[in-house]
Amino acid sequence: MSRPVVVVTRRLPEAIEQELAERFDVRLNRNDTPLSPVALAEAMKSADALLCTVTDRITAQHFSVPGRRARVLANFGVGVNHIDLDAARAAGVMVTNTPDVLTDDTADVAIGLMLMTMRRLSEGERHARTGAWSGWRPTHMLGRSLTGKRLGIVGYGRIGRAVARRAASAFGMQVQWWAPREPTIHDEATAGPANAQRAQSFEELLRSSDVVSLHCPATPETYHLMNEHTMSLMLPDAVLINTSRGNVIDEHALVHVLRERIIGGAGLDVYEFEPTVLPDLRDFETVVLLPHLGSATVETRHAMGRRAMHNLELALAGEAPPDRVA
C-alpha cells in the first residue's frame, strides 16, 4: 500500500525529517528557500498533505487550484494567519497547528527583550564590541530595573500567562492584563500569577504600564492595534515588546513615536514586513531587534515537528487530530 505524499515546505531539524521519511512519502525542501506561489500550487496538486510554515502564504487560489489533491495542511507553528482558513473550510481541507510546545521558549524571549530594552543590554554589547567603552563609571549607560515595575500584557493566552508568571516570580513585577475574553485555562499550572489583575480597558493598561508586552493573535481586530494613537497613550519611559505577530504594530507609526520620544523604546522579535526590518527601526539605540527567535531552541523545534507529524498521521488516517483549527 502506497504511503501518503507529504510536501515539507522548509528544512526541519534532521531528526524530524528522518521521522517524517519513515512515516510518509515525503518531499523535502533541500535548499530551504520559501516556495513560490506557483510551487505551492504544484504542491497542492501533487501531495496529500503539506507540512507548512509561517513563510508560506496559502491563499484561496491555492485551495481552488484545478486538480487539487491536498486535504491536510499541518502548520509548523501556532499562528495560522498566513492561511486563508475560510477558503480551507470551504474546500474541505483540514488545517492544524502546534500549540503548547513553544509557550515557554517564546515567553523566555519576551522576558529577554524586556531586560535588553530596559537595561540597555543590546546597546551596551555593541558599545563593548566596537571598542567604544572607556571603562566603568557611575553614570555610564544607566538603564531601568524591571524589579517592581508594572507589566501590561495584551492577550492573556498560554504565552501571555507564562510571561506573567516569569515576570511576577523572578522580578516581582505587578502584572495587569487585557483581553477581549476571559482566558480558557484547562490546567492551573498554566494560569497566571494569583495577583495579576485584569485592566479595566485596553487604554487603561497602556496608560499605566511600564512595559507593554503583546501576546495576541493576528486577526482583523488586532491589525495595527498598536498605532500612533494607542502608542501615544503609553508612559513616556515605557517600552513595547512584541513576540506575537508583526502586523499588530503599525511600524511606521512606531518609528514616529520613537523619533518623537513619545515612548521609551521597543523590543521586537516579529515584524510587520518580515523578513524586512524598516531601516529607520535599525537606527534607534532604544530598539532591540531579534530575527524571529521566539521558538528557536532545539527542544522546541523538535517538539513542534513531532506535534505536526502526529496531527498529520491522524488526519490522513481519517481520525480527529488534537490541534485542528479548520
3-state secondary structure the chain: CCCCEEEECCCCCHHHHHHHHHHCEEECCCCCCCCCHHHHHHHHHHCCEEEECCCCCECHHHHCCCCCCCCEEEECCCCCCCECHHHHHHHCCEEECCCCCCHHHHHHHHHHHHHHHHCCHHHHHHHHHCCCCCCCCCCCCCCCCCCCCEEEEECCCHHHHHHHHHHHHHHCCEEEEECCCCCCCCCHHHCCCCCCEECCCHHHHHHHCCEEEECCCCCCCCCCCECHHHHHCCCCCCEEEECCCHHHECHHHHHHHHHCCCCCEEEECCCCCCCCCCHHHHCCCCEEECCCCCCCCHHHHHHHHHHHHHHHHHHHCCCCCCCECC
pLDDT band at 94 (very low <50, low <70, confident <90, very high): very high
The answer, yes or no, to whether the previous bond of 275 is cis (omega within 30 of 0) is yes
pLDDT band at 105 (very low <50, low <70, confident <90, very high): very high
Cell of 198: 485584569
> What percent of the chain shows pLDDT beyond 70?
100
Q: Is the pLDDT of residue 323 over 80?
A: yes
Q: Is the CATH number of domain 5-101+298-316 3.40.50.720?
A: yes
CA distances from 273 to 36, 243, 276 (A): 17, 14, 5
200-241 pLDDT, tens per residue?
999 999 999 999 999 999 999 999 999 999 999 999 999 999
Give the predicted TM-score (pTM) of the model: 0.96
The residue annotated as part of the active site, out of 68, 165, 252, 292, is 292
In the chain, CATH 3.40.50.720 sits at 5-101+298-316, 103-289
> What percent of the chain shows pLDDT beyond 90?
99
275-302 pLDDT, tens per residue?
999 999 999 999 999 999 999 999 999 9
Residues 6+ apart with CB under 8 A from 157: 179, 183, 215
The residue annotated as part of the active site, out of 166, 245, 301, 307, is 245
Residue 186: per-residue pLDDT: 87
Residue 304: per-residue pLDDT: 98
The residue annotated as part of the active site, out of 42, 228, 274, 313, is 274
148-200 pLDDT, tens per residue?
999 999 999 999 999 999 999 999 999 999 999 999 998 999 999 999 999 99
- What does the alpha-carbon distance between residue 225 and residue 46 come to, in Å, rounded to a whole number? 39
Whether 292 sits among the annotated catalytic residues: the reply is yes
Q: What is the mean pLDDT of residues 28-48?
A: 97
Q: Are 292 and 270 in contact (CB under 8 A)?
A: yes
Could you name the CATH architecture of 103-289? 3-Layer(aba) Sandwich (3.40)
For 280-304, give one letter per residue: b (16+ CB within 10 A) or e.
ebeebebbbbbebbbbeeeebbbbb
For 42-61, give one letter per residue: b (16+ CB within 10 A) or e.
ebbeebbbbbbbbbbebeee
Cell of 89: 473550510
Whether 252 sits among the annotated catalytic residues: the reply is no
